Each structure stands twice: as C-alpha cells, then as structure tokens.
Structure 1
Amino acid sequence: MSLVEYATTDGVATLTLNNAPANCYSRDMMTELDAAILKARFDPDVHVIVVRGAGEKFFCAGADIAMLQGADPYFKYNFCLHANETLLRLEHTPKLVIAAIDGHCVGGGLEVAMACDIRIARQGRGKCGLPEVKLGVLPGTGGTQRLVRVVGKSKAIELMAVGEVFPFERAAELGLVDHLWEAESHADFHAKVLEWAGQFVPPKAASRAVGLIKRACQTGAEIAIADGLALERELQQRLFEGEDAREGLAAYNEKREPEFTGR
C-alpha cells in the first residue's frame, strides 16, 4: 500500500497522505511525499497540487511518535532534516499548492499544511495546533518558522508555548486557514476543492504566471526588497517570453476571453 497516493484530474494532482488511523508520517511517507512532489513538478500537464489526508478524521496528526520514541538522536536529526527539505521542495515548486483539510491537522500535520500556499478546511470537522511542547520538544518540521510568518511573532510564540489546539473556526480567525467550507461528506469536500482549484488551470488561467507569482512571493518575502524587485523583474521577463503573456495581451486588446496554455 502506498503511503502517499498520487492521482491527477483535469490538470490537478492530488497527493493523499494515507497511513491509518491518523495519517502520521514516517521516513517512508516523507520519502514517498518527496517523490510525489517531484512527479507533479515535472509533469507539464499538472498545474495545481492538492494535499489531503485519507479519510474524514485526520488530515495528518504529525510524525509517528512511536517511531520517534524508538529512534536514536542521529536518526531523529536526519528525519527532521529530510522532512524540512521535503516541505521546502513543496514550497519552492512553481505550481499552486492547496491543503484540503478535512479532519484534525495537528503537530507536523499543520506544519505540512503551512508549507502549502492556500489552506481550505471543512467547517466543524476538526482541530489544529502545534502541541509539541507537551512532549518536551518544539515543532521541528518548520512550525516555529512558518507559524511566525503566518500569525506574527508574539501570537506564534504563545500558541506554541501553550501547546494550544483549537477548532478550524479559530484557525480561520488567526489566518491559518484561508477558506472554511461546509460539505456533506469527505468526497463532497474534495470535489469542491478540485472545482475551486480548476480556476487556476488552463485555459481559464495562466498557470505559469500563477506559479511564478508564488515563487516571487515565497522567495521575495525572505530577502531585501531591492533583491525581491530584481527577482520580480526576471520572473516577469520569463513570462513576457512565453505564450500566455502574448495571448493575454492580445485577448485584452481584441476584447475577448484569453485561451491560456500554461506556457
């Protein structure tokens, strides 16, 4: 059985974390997730990536605690390093990444979700938070760094120091969740996510421009503004040299809807 199921539908690749009962990740799952991210990155027919958990109870409950308890510090360090590298690969992939959160999203599961560009949660279906302090450790898969960038320094420190776990509605108030949707079932929720993701797929959207907007923001937020502006200019020039920019400008001048190709 695959720990990360990979499927594509109409230009959207879905990566499903599948490790019952809580979709906890191990070294093997991270290795499969890493491979799935690369598969989606290299596929020119994939324009959007959706990450979700199997079943309705958990998106992901984080790292497999039993596995970590039995591991030596050398393994634990390299396990955290590989997890960091995998989520950075997801963050650096120039395609929009959506976390479809239908079930509890805690610990490392929230760290996975924060590495996605947009987070959509199913209303009333779970809680999220970074409670690692209650295990005597810190959120070690990017949580201390990404939570600060999402909610601000003082609030991030408070949430992690207390180890608070809270409903999706509170997550939406904090800005951790971008959209909170009602859905009748797990399948209905995923169908709604796929439909929403379709707006970023050609011919409706210039998906290459969407991907480079992401890259400009992800990298630009971490560097000086002059360097960020230089990056923006270079990415813009790449788009000017592509088909979609020519199509978009022509369609505007001809007063018609553009037909984008993602190139």
Structure 2
Amino acid sequence: MAVYETIKYQKEDGFCVITLNRPKSLNALNVKMWSELDHVLNVVDNDDEIKAFIFTGAPRPDGRPCFCTGADIKEMSVLMSGDQFAETESAQAVQDAPDTPSAQVPTAQPSTVKTFWSLRQPKGAIVPTFEKITWSPKISVAAIDGICTAGGTELALACDIIIASETAQVSDMHVKNLGWIGGAAGSANMAWRVGVSKAIELCCTGDVIDGKEAHRIGFANQVWPPDQYLEKAKELAKKIGGMRQAAVIMTKATCRSVQDMDRKSTLHYCDDGFSILLSEQDTADFGPQRWVDQR
C-alpha cells in the first residue's frame, strides 16, 4: 500500500475511510492531494472487499472540525501566473505522487455487471477525480463537519450520500470570492441535489448553511450531532458493505441513470441491468429461495 502525504486511508469491514489531511491549510486540495486521491480511488475501485468509501476531513490544528475549503488558491495563483510549472512545488508533488500502475493495485475479478457499469461512465471532465468518485462502482459517502465550501462542496456533491454534522458550515463561495463558477460542475450538481431555485440562491450568494438546514433542503441525507456523524457514516457504509456487491453496483448505476437519460431509456436500462444481474456467477446464492431459507 502506498504511503500518502496529504490523505489518510483506513480500510475497515466492507468499506474504507479516506481522510483529507492538510489541517494547516484547512484540507485544501493541492496538486499532491489530487494525485493521491486519484491513486487511492484506483485502489478502492479494484478492491472487491470494499463496497463503500467515506470521505472526511482532518480537524484544524486547534481541534475545530473542517471538511475541505476547496482548491488551494495560493497554489492555483502560482500555476495560473505564467511561471513554469516545473519550477513550482506542485510539479515536484506530481513527480513524487504514488505510482499508479496496475501492478500496485489489486485487480478485481471480471464481472458483467462491472462492464455494464463502465459503459455508462462519461469521458472527459475538467476535474476527472470528482467524476471518478461519482462514477465509481462503489458507493461514496461524504461525512462533513466544519467548513465545507467551494471545491469541498463539489467533492461532497460528487458523492452518492452526504452525512452532515449539525455544526457543518456548507457553502459555495466560487461566485462570491472568485467571480467564477465551480470547475467540477458544482452548480449543476447542487441543482440536482436541492433543486434549481435553491441552487441558484446558494451559489450566487455564497450564504453559509449549517448541517440541519443542509438536511432540510436535501443537500444532506442525514444530520447528526458532531460526536456521532462520522460513526453514523461508518454504520451506513458497513451496512452497504454487507450487501451483494453486484446488486449494489447495479442499484447505483440505475439510480444515476435518471440524471442523463429520458424515462423510456432509463426503464430499458433497468431491464437490461436486471437481466445481467441474474447472469452473474453468484446469482444462485441470492433471490427468492435465499429469502425463504432465511425465514
């Protein structure tokens, strides 16, 4: 297993926890972290023992919680200044990033379900790492507390499920602070999550909402006290980890299909998915007879 500098990786029973670990920089996403996230996602996707993965953030040096403040603006300003990339620390970060050849990543067993899923993955994105999260065959969970803004909010929105602490501080400061929109489709993903009108309000004002409000408007699936939210995220991931992996993959694929297919196409896609699921090698271990035998 690679040794990471900007993230922590902990594998547990059926799931893993990926902790953004740049506390002095409020877990800002720099080039090194992007590279390490890309690497660890390859590890996750190719480990059949992992069916769900959690993103969370290391607390600040003073102990206050923090999820992620988005891209490292100081580093970004250097990269966009016209200086030679090779002369920056960021270039060295890329050179020092963990290697990602298949030899270092366990190869998952071939699966018709996984092939079916892979055909749905879009090609090309400004921030491909976030797309890799969204289109991973595994279930992704963002467990957020403290500051979650800009690219941090986009990271959370890239996940399938968001678990928030009551003390989370969620916002999108791209327009307010930079005069930009998010480069990882944050406004579009926000609209899918909370509705068009609310997304426009949040993205255009930069207003901060707490975990309870995030849950009320549908940004977060669940909200818990700050001493419980991460454990609740782990309980959820472990529950998913106990399910049949092929069924979990197909469920995510068919649920995600409504975001870019019309209704008729989605129904056909679900029919195809159901048929493929029945053809998997472990099908005999599941289905009606399994339910009857467990009664």
Normalised by the length of structure 2, the TM-score is 0.77
Q: Quick one: which of 137, 148, 157 aligns to 2:200?
A: 157
Where does residue 173 of structure 1 map in the other structure? 216
How many aligned positions are there?
245
Q: Deviations over 1:100-124 (max 9, x none)?
A: 112211111010000111100112x
Mapped to 2, the partners of 1:165 and 1:115 lie a distance apart of 19
Root-mean-square deviation (CA, aligned residues, Å) is: 2.1
Where does residue 84 of structure 1 map in the other structure? 127
Mapped to 2, the partners of 1:102 and 1:159 lie a distance apart of 18
Where does residue 66 of structure 2 map in the other structure? 58
SS of the aligned residue for 1:70 comes to helix
Structure 2's unaligned 5+ residue stretches are 86-123
Q: Deviations over 1:118-163 (max 9, x none)?
A: 100112x231010111222112222121011111112211211112
Where does residue 255 of structure 2 map in the other structure? 217
Where does residue 191 of structure 1 map in the other structure? 231
Shift of 1:28: 1.7
Question: Superposed, which structure 2 residues align to 1:112-261 within 5 Å?
Answer: 112-123=155-166, 125-134=167-176, 135-184=178-227, 189-202=229-242, 205-242=243-280, 243-244=282-283, 246-254=285-293, 256=294
Following TM superposition, where does structure 1 have runs of at least 4 consecutive aligned residues deviating by more than 3 angstroms?
none
Q: Deviations over 1:34-76 (max 9, x none)?
A: 111111010011111111111252110101111122222788x
Shift of 1:193: 2.1
Q: Structure 2 vs 1, CA of residues 150 and 189 (structure 1 numbering), >3 Å: closer, same or farther?
A: closer
Shift of 1:183: 4.2
Identity of aligned residues (%): 29
Contact 1:5 1:17 in 2 (8 A): yes
Mapped to 1, the partners of 2:199 and 2:255 lie a distance apart of 21
243-252 vs 190-199, greater mean Cα deviation: 243-252
Higher relative contact order (CA 8 A, sep 6+): 2
Contact 2:223 2:229 in 1 (8 A): no
Where does residue 78 of structure 1 map in the other structure? none
Mapped to 2, the partners of 1:160 and 1:146 lie a distance apart of 11
Residue type of the alignment partner of 1:68 = M
Mapped to 2, the partners of 1:49 and 1:13 lie a distance apart of 5
Where does residue 95 of structure 2 map in the other structure? none
Contact 2:143 2:233 in 1 (8 A): yes
Residue type of the alignment partner of 1:142 = A
Structure 1's unaligned 5+ residue stretches are 76-80, 258-263
